[in-house]
């Protein structure tokens, strides 16, 4: 074959093969090391898929963003992740690219543009949208490529992400590396779709199918795709046809394939075909290719040898990188004293909690152009289901107040991605009950990104959730208090205001916090209270509780709309000579154990009250800590009062009986004080 008939510049083809050689050297070294017992870590081989990232590497730079999956070691190598740092990471060493905290399936390396590696199938697609939003809003010509296998096309997150990207014309490429296997399952077994790229057309944007084993054809097709996306014409779905020669996990050949299938796959494998093409076309000599391959092997061997000599990440790192500040991490017997807010000055205005939330967002968006709001129906004229965003779209425009599809995974994923890129998104989830729809993005991505990346990346995002409960008429799927889901997930901060002043101050602190924060807003309180709220910017620090009523006989510890119920109960108890102190926690993570324990030392008794189900709730945690720390100072054990263990009833009579209220709180206190 003549060089002119290749359909690709010879030097480009040589460069693609050079990356393929590096990828193949990594693959061989890992499989040899695992087989011999030289080292041990989980490995998902990508043997046979080398051409896809190797070719893309010639069309993109480190400025372009990439997301990949646990099977993405070939993507990482071609993107430019340092091999020593990559192997040290896989081995759990402190010199790893993420300090050994993420391991091979969770690499983040912003210096190369490798932003997120997710071990959750399909979960990277919504996050890619967020990276693309950041690039587009900043006027950058970056493209974001999110890699996933054909199996991920069955995941709802991918569909939600594609729909959002199409609607907003985001500069993102959905790169489906179709290796014909969804883990251990063949494509015809799990879908009737004749192809995957056609799904893009159904969602209103471009889809193409390319031969991912032919570097010349793939280069030509990908150049057109990348140029199209870089020019701002919207997303593209690429179905790159290839074949996985190895098993889903481990080493060796794909033992699920028949002998004929495997033989055909090896015949089409891009590494060997490209090598032969370089020789046949006279682009490279055998000696040149042998030297290139030897250099790749030497690079890999050196990286592995040094990684094996590097220090194992020590146990002293356990709590580092959970949050930006290690003192925010709850830890037994470590109760930091955080400074409370000072006296507020300046003009005030009478506001409901809904208006205070709107005021906080307006202040943050005015101060920082990288703060934006997204969620269902958040735009004007409604300003969200509860009007907490009214007027913001009119003032800041529809690119900073983004009304989204009804797609919670897409909403939270976009917030995660844009925050990793350095923006400060505020994502609104209409009811906390809907958290279950997007819990993966919250718990496995927003919460864990700082830790898994060793603080190479983090997610300074805010999630606002409204909660029903206490009013009747919302029923079991719109009335739950699910804060325990969040507080049991390391890496998420949680605040729950009880009044308009705190709602604005806590929200402003959350928006400006370096970590993901969830603000829980009680629907019951949005319009029923009015306070004099400072007009300007002020902060209620996270992790600082407040004494709402001083007392001497018992401490009531609570948060959210139960603060009002506890205050009412305290007034009733005062008529009986029982003087109750009421503490509003305000934030649950970080939690202010210092002020809790100081109060209980004084009163000798404690009752923790919350609207959430009592079983396994915050009350159990707080009571356990009080009883452990103050057992010799208590007049009786700390106790809790929460909702009965049942879904919240539609009937207001049943709900009122289920959830703590002033009368039931007073009764619980009487039993404790006796």
All residues at 6 or more sequence positions from 461 whose CB lies less than 8 Å from its CB, including other chains: 415, 416, 418, 419, 424, 425, 426, 427, 446, 516, 517
Q: Which two tokens stand for residue 673?
A: 């004080």
Give me 233's structure tokens.
Answer: 């014409």
Distance CA 426, CA 375 (A): 8
Catalytic residue among 478, 488, 610, 661: 478
Query: What is the C-alpha separation between 619 and 616, in angstroms, rounded?
Result: 8
Q: Where are the beta strands (DSSP E) in 231-366?
A: 236-241, 348-352
Q: How many CA atoms lie within 13 A of 104 on its CB side?
A: 21
Give one DSSP letter per residue of 376-429, joined into a string.
Answer: TT-STTTTSTTSTTTTHHHHH-TTTEEEPPS-HHHHHHHHHHHHHTT-EEEEEE
C-alpha distances (whole Å) from 470 to each of 433, 517, 527, 583 are: 15, 24, 14, 20
Is the Cβ–Cβ distance between 4 and 43 less than 8 Å? no
Q: Provide the 3-class DSSP secondary structure of residue 238.
A: strand
Exposure string of 330-358, with b = 16+ CB inside 10 Å and e = fewer, is beeeebeebeeeeeeeeeeeebbbbbbbb
For residues 566 and 353, what is the distance between their CA atoms, to the nearest angstrom?
Answer: 19
Structure tokens at 650: 């539609």
610 belongs to the catalytic site: no
Decide if 458 contacts 324 (C-beta within 8 A): yes
Q: How far apart are CA 466 and CA 159, in angstroms?
A: 26
Active site residues: 478
């Amino acid at each position: 074959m003549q060089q002119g008939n290749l359909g690709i510049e010879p030097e480009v083809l040589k460069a693609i093969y050079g990356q393929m050689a590096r990828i193949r050297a990594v693959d061989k070294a890992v499989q040899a090391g695992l087989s011999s017992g030289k080292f041990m870590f989980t490995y998902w081989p990508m043997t046979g898929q080398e051409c896809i990232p190797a070719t893309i590497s010639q069309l993109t730079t480190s400025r372009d963003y990439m997301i990949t999956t646990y099977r993405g070691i070939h993507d990482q190598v071609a993107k430019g992740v340092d091999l020593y740092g990559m192997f040290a990471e896989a081995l759990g060493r402190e010199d790893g690219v993420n300090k050994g905290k993420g391991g091979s399936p969770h690499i983040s390396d912003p210096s190369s543009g490798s932003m997120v590696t997710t071990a959750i199938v399909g979960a990277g697609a919504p996050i890619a949208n967020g990276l693309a939003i950041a690039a587009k809003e900043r006027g950058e010509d970056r493209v974001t490529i999110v890699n996933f296998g054909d199996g991920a096309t069955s995941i709802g997150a991918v569909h939600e992400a594609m729909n959002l990207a199409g609607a907003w014309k985001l500069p993102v490429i959905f790169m489906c590396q179709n290796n014909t296997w969804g883990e251990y399952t063949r494509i015809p077994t799990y879908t009737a779709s004749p192809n995957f790229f056609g799904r893009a057309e159904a969602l209103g944007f471009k889809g193409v199918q390319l031969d991912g084993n032919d570097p010349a054809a793939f280069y030509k097709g990908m150049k057109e795709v990348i140029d199209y996306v870089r020019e701002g014409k919207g997303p593209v779905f690429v179905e790159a046809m290839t074949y996985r020669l190895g098993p889903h996990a481990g080493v060796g050949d794909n033992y699920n394939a028949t002998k004929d299938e495997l033989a055909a796959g090896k015949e089409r494998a891009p590494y060997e075909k490209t090598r032969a093409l370089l020789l046949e076309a006279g682009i490279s000599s055998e000696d040149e290719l042998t030297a290139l391959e030897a250099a790749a092997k030497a690079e890999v061997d050196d990286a592995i040898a040094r990684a094996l000599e590097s220090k194992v990440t020590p146990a002293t790192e356990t709590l580092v990188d959970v949050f930006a500040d290690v003192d925010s991490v709850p830890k037994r017997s470590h109760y930091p004293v955080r400074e409370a807010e000072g006296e507020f000055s300046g003009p005030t205005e009478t506001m409901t909690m809904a208006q205070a939330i709107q005021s906080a967002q307006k202040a943050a968006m005015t101060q920082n152009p990288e703060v934006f709001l997204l969620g269902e129906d958040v735009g004007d004229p409604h300003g969200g289901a509860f009007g907490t965003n009214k007027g913001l779209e009119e003032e800041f425009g529809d690119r900073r107040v983004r009304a989204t599809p009804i797609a919670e995974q897409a909403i939270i994923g976009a917030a995660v991605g844009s925050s990793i890129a350095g923006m400060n998104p505020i994502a609104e989830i209409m009811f906390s009950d809907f958290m279950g729809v997007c819990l993966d993005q919250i718990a496995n991505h927003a919460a864990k990104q700082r830790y898994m990346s060793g603080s190479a990346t983090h997610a300074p995002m805010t999630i606002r959730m409204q909660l029903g409960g206490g009013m009747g008429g919302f029923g079991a799927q719109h009335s739950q208090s699910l804060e325990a889901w969040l507080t049991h997930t390391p890496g998420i901060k949680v605040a729950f205001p009880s009044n308009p002043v705190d709602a604005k101050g806590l929200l402003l602190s959350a928006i400006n916090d370096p970590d993901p924060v969830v603000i829980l807003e009680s629907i019951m309180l949005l319009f029923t209270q009015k306070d004099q709220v400072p007009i300007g910017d002020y902060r209620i620090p996270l992790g600082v509780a407040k004494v709402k009523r001083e007392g001497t006989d018992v401490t009531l510890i609570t948060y959210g709309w139960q603060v009002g119920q506890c205050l009412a109960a305290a007034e009733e108890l005062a008529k009986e000579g029982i003087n109750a102190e009421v503490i509003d926690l305000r934030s649950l993570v970080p939690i202010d154990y210092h002020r809790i324990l100081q109060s209980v030392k004084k009163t000798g008794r404690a009752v923790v009250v919350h609207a959430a189900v009592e079983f396994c709730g915050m009350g159990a945690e707080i009571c356990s800590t009080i009883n452990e720390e103050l057992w010799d100072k208590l007049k009786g054990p700390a106790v809790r009062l929460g909702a009965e263990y049942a879904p919240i009833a539609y009937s207001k009579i049943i709900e009122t009986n289920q959830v703590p209220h002033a009368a039931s709180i007073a009764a619980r206190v009487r039993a404790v004080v006796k």
